[in-house]
Structure 1
Amino acid sequence: MEKLITIIGPTASGKTPFAAALASQIGAEIISADSRQVYRRMDLGTGKDLEDYLVDGVKIPYHLIDIAEPGTKYNLFQYQQDFQNVYSALKESGKPTILCGGTGLYVEAVLKGYALSPVPQNPKLREELAGKSLIELTEILKDLKERNKSAMHNRTDVDTANRAMRAIEIETYELEHPTPDRQMPSVDSVIIGLDIGREERRHKISSRLKKRIDGGMVDEVKSLLDSGIPADDLIYYGLEYKFLTQYVIGQISYDEMYRSLEIAIHQFAKRQMTWFRGMERRGFRIHWIDAMLPMDEKLRLAKEIIRETK
């Protein structure tokens, strides 16, 4: 069985079209590693770009996209289980598999086989944390991570107070209930990273944001709110859904929404790269390819890397 191929990179680096083009050439299926693309009807805001999975008129099969209802809180434990189910089935069928996404924690958890437990809500702890600012919550989380020696919950995934509270809840649970030594199987993978320069990344992020807002991202959020999803549940997802929801419900102006969101996405991409560099320090070998190279050249380099690491 061939190794799993993992493709990572920050937002706007072109991971999905690259993964789809590679899948087309080697007959692979794609497993998404994106913590927000799991939600149905959250399309423009999560950057699903499902048309990227169409290569030369042929749809590349993809998995773990559109598997959860908006308003629910899908988590890393669930992702790990879902990934194993899909990956095991693909291995049995003999299909080459590409894991593709920008959620570094999801990628690392399935490749390393982190031992995780489903963590229940802790109402008493939530009551104690209520009213604290994101900065205060981040400091509490930092302390817990140091005590747990935890690689989970970097700032990529805690850009709202609710998400920070949930991360504190999980770290507190792990501290009080050490996870038994029952590692999930680790996965042998060749990891290819798309490296994009800061200025190119900033330009692509800004132009893509304008395109998505012009393409109906505000209407998408209005539709989700109209379907009965509470505003706080959408804000919980952070980034696009945080600022667009605040705009739609009248908390901030359009200009403030646009400016704040653009800054937040730039910061998010920077934190993604920080996570990937951290993965290298934690023992992962990442083969970096210049994201701005022509597609044919990127594919040639990727296939060469895959051949050499078999």
Structure 2
Amino acid sequence: MALRERAAASPGSTHPVAAEFGIVAVMLTGLFVLQRTVAEVMAVLLAPPPAGDGILVSGLLRGLLLVSSVVVFGYVYVSARGIAVRRSVPTRSDLPTVAFAAAVPLGLAGVTKLAGSLTGVPYNGLVMASYAADASPLPIALVAAVGILTSVPILVVVSQMLLQGSFERVMATDEAIVATTVVASVVFTSSTGSVTAIPEPERVVVIGCFALLGALAVYGTDRFAGRDRRRFLAFVPLAAFSLLAVLSAIAAIGSITEGLYAIAHLATFGVAAYAYDRTDSPIAPAIAYVSLLVANVAIVYLLEAGMRSW
């Protein structure tokens, strides 16, 4: 792994981690507004929806504009904050890490499918997608390719270059990987459990509330210094909110298969963050995301064509 210099926290901040979470929350809010604006503008420009091959072309145009806007946003953010973006190409010594990044999402998706087959939970009901039994593979592959070409660059830019780059300023390597995994999983997982390139508003709100309650906890520790027991009361709202979020996520899991499906997505974000740190290359996390997205499409099309379970 290439040596790199970690940026120092702001000298005026006594609690750089809390401050960084606040900055990240603001950044994600701005990114969400940008993505929604671009999506709405494209919806107006391309109305009414084209027919036939025009649907594929319009999807490609939407994706291109969306990715371009996120890249520009990311460039401004990292430039303003002095975040070093790693753009190396994986070397031969990095190949085991790259292979690991590709294998984990694919393997976990396969385990999820196997568990679903044993427990009667179809995989297409998890990804909320289905294909006709006689569907031609070419259109499916083209649509999937457009989705991947849109989603993967956004996931890499936001999860690795913006989120992970921000957390690395104030955290040790492993801590930054964990923080990136948790935040990226919350932001880029839809209410149906699938990966989404455009965050749902409630997901951004969750991160904002966490950052706000974290700032409140920090303020409380400063306000009631020494051994004053009231210092710990400042952490109660943050702890309660975190516990509620975890319990809500667990309650939403209705079966072992759904749990494995959630684990597969969480692990993918974790592996992507790990691979980015170890290889200093955006290619490694991109492979992890591609592996998961391709696995989802392949399992539904090859093993469950003609089925619809939601």
TM-score, reference length from structure 1: 0.26
Q: Which has the higher helix share?
A: 2
The answer to which structure, 1 or 2, has the higher relative contact order (CA under 8 A, 6+ apart) is 2
Q: Which has the higher strand share?
A: 1
The structure with more radius of gyration = 2
TM-score, reference length from structure 2: 0.26
